[in-house]
Structure 1
Amino acid sequence: MNARIVAVLALVCLAATACGSNDADSAEQAPSPAASSSPSPAGSATETGQPASAGSPTEKATCEGRYTDYSASAVADACYTDTILFFHASWCPECRGFEEAITGGTVPGGAQILKVDYDSATDLRKKYEVTIQSTFVRVDPSGARVKLWSGYGQDKSVDAILENTQ
């Protein structure tokens, strides 16, 4: 089967199981410099978004996993099959714990975790019905919410974030 057909079928499956609002609110937030300023250890989450591998000429290249600041263009980046928004507050101990786990771990290829400033992104909080910092929201490439998960008191690892937002 053509890789493009497989990707479309996957998006259709995600849309069929999506929960939450699909409103047309086009609220955006300018990226904050905090997430992109800390260096990533070797083999950990990257911010490059460069293709990690490409198989046969008909296969779509998969970008390296990354943790970076939120932007609407990052959400729409076709290279990523998994996009998770992390509503982070610098004053929140839970958020700092998750950030340490993300930067110290490895975000798998094709996945991206986008850091959203909880305090200033009021339009995004409203759009995704986020009521507490340390919340993760899986979105589809159009930015529609697929699943919301509060990380408060939960396992702080990249694997837990990805599993709980499936």
Structure 2
Amino acid sequence: MKYGLWLGIVGLLLLAALIWYSQRDQGASPPSTLGTNSETSAPSSDGTSTESSSSSEAAGSGQYLTYSGDLLIGSGRRLLFFHAPWCPQCRALEKTIQERGVPDGVTIIKVDYDSNQQLRQQFGVTIQTTLVEIDGSNALIERYVAYDEPSISAVSSHFNLK
């Protein structure tokens, strides 16, 4: 009797874990378009969207935004920063971005590495601290992994940002 009860409990736990695992990414799949933080987006007089950064802009007037599913309407250079909050290298890179700012004309969009698997696959991202430059049609231009040197200086040097 005890063996059957124990087996039933283990089976229920395994079933619950399977259900949780299969549903943990539902709702986190990003659309094929890139987005901005809707709180930082405001329409301008010409009908396009202007975005403001909630981060420090001490060294430049570039923008550091959090990815969301809204349509990204922007100009200038755009980099997707695949970030994980548990990753020490990601936190180090984010700290330098916040302290030193983003270069003029550049928008860095922080994408949660763990919850955006479709976006990772689309751009061939396999490790946190990867930055992907995209063009106006959201196509890959170049990929860079900042793991060994997680600083805005290294990113700026690699992408030739001014």
Q: 1:136 aligns with which of 116, 121, 131?
A: 131
The letter of the residue matching 1:73 is L
The letter of the residue matching 1:93 is P
- How far, CA to CA, are the matches of 1:150 and 1:109 in structure 2? 22
Match of 2:71, SS? helix
Residue 159 of structure 2 aligns with which residue? 165
CA contact (8 A) 2:58 2:99 kept: no
Residue 92 of structure 2 aligns with which residue? 97
Displacement of 1:163 after TM fit? 2.4
**TM-score normalised per structure 2:** 0.61
Q: Which structure has the larger Rg over C-alpha atoms?
A: 2
Identity, in percent, stands at 38
Displacement of 1:157 after TM fit? 2.6
Deviations 1:33-70 (A, max 9, x none): 9xxxx96346256xxxxxxxxxxxxxxxxxx3110112
Q: 1:73 and 2:71 equivalent?
A: yes
Q: Do the aligned partners of residues 86 and 42 (structure 1) sit closer, same or farther apart at CA in structure 2, a change above 3 Å counting?
A: closer
- How far, CA to CA, are the matches of 2:58 and 2:125 in structure 1? 31
Aligned-residue CA RMSD (Å): 2.8
Match of 1:104, SS? helix
Match of 1:100, SS? helix
Residue 127 of structure 1 aligns with which residue? 122
Residue 11 of structure 1 aligns with which residue? none
CA contact (8 A) 1:105 1:157 kept: no
Residue 23 of structure 2 aligns with which residue? none
CA contact (8 A) 2:54 2:64 kept: no
Displacement of 1:122 after TM fit? 0.7
Q: Which structure 2 residues correspond to residues 30-45 of structure 1 after superposition, within 5 A?
A: 40-41=55-56, 43-44=58-59
- How far, CA to CA, are the matches of 1:137 and 1:77 in structure 2? 16
Residue 140 of structure 2 aligns with which residue? 145
Displacement of 1:159 after TM fit? 2.8
Deviations 1:92-129 (A, max 9, x none): 00000000000001212211110000000111000000
Count residues with an aligned counterpart.
116
Q: 2:109 aligns with which of 114, 123, 129?
A: 114
Residue 83 of structure 1 aligns with which residue? 78
- How far, CA to CA, are the matches of 1:122 and 1:145 in structure 2? 16
